[in-house]
Amino acid sequence: MLNRVEGLRLVAGFIFAPAIGVSVLLLTLIAHETVTPHGNASVGSLAAFGLIAAYVTYSATFIIGLPLFILFYYRRWFRPWQMATGGLLVGASVALLLGTYNRLGIMFCVVGVTTGLFFWLLVIFRNRALTASSRIDAPRTSRA
C-alpha cells in the first residue's frame, strides 16, 4: 500500500516524466537545428511541434502507459530497463497507430524510452513501497 508521499511520487511521475521526455526531444531538435547549416526551423514551428508532441505523449501515457504500469505493478517489474522497455512499447505503439515508420516513429520510441527512464527515476527509485530491496521487512536475499 502506498502512503501519501509515495502516492504523490506516482502522480508526479505521470505528470512530469512525459514533460521531461518531450523537453529532451525539443532540446535535441534545437541542438540539431543549430548544428546543421541549413536549419530552417523557427521558434514558432518548434513550439507548435512541442505542443503536438506533448499532446501525443500525454495521451499515450494515460491511454497506453497507465494500463501498462498497472501490469508492471502486478508483475513487480520495476527495474530501469523494464521501465525503459515499457516506454519503448508505448512509443512504438503510437508510431504503429499513426502509421509513422520513418524518423518520426523513431522519435516516438526515443521519447518513450526517455519518459520510461525518468518515470523510473521519479517514481520507482528508492520508493520503499515499490522496491523490495529498500524495505526493511524484505528478505535478506533481496536487500542490497
Cell of 141: 536475499
Provide the pLDDT for residue 48.
87
> Cα(15)–Cα(86) distance, rounded to whole angstroms?
17
What is the tens place of the pLDDT at every residue in 37-89? 565 667 778 888 889 999 999 999 999 999 999 999 999 999 999 999 999 99
Which range among 13-17, 29-33, 96-100 shows the weakest confidence by mean pLDDT? Answer: 29-33
In 3D space, the residue among 32, 35, 20, 88 whose CA is nearest the CA of residue 60 turns out to be 88
Residue 139: pLDDT band by 50, 70, 90 thresholds?
Answer: low
pLDDT tens-place string over residues 101-134? 888 889 899 999 999 999 999 999 988 777 765 4
**Cα 105 to Cα 90: distance, rounded to the nearest angstrom:** 11
Question: For the chain, which residues make up each domain, given as ranges?
Answer: 15-28+45-134
